[in-house]
Amino acid sequence: MQKLQRKKEEVKAQAEQLVVDLQTALTEAKALLKKAPKGKEGKEVLEAIQSEINAVETSMTDATNLLNTGKFMEAKDKLTAALQKVNQIKDELNQAIAKKKGK
């Protein structure tokens, strides 16, 4: 039983760290979004990326609620997926910014 409790605490701690990591990544993504090129077709792309960021924020809220209700593994899984998504967004924005600087 103690082993199970330890595992729960470990997963809870990992999920809590993921919340912090995700908040940091979201802040970085929003800052990159402001720097991204805003040409003709760029505006639509940026709006789509903003929608993706909003979806990640919703996911984080859902995961935080799961965390608060003791569903640590579900929260961890949701947070991991959200962090992967926001990292993809950051990569996409970094590439767009680099491409603009290269012109």
- What confidence tens digit (pLDDT) does each residue in 43-99 have? 888 899 999 999 999 999 999 999 999 999 999 999 999 999 999 999 999 998 888
Residue 22 burial (CB < 10 Å; 0-12/13-18/19+)?
buried
Highest mean pLDDT among 3-12, 21-30, 40-49: 21-30
pLDDT tens-place string over residues 28-43: 999 999 988 887 777 8
Sketch the domain layout of the chain as residue ranges: 43-103
Which pTM was predicted? 0.90
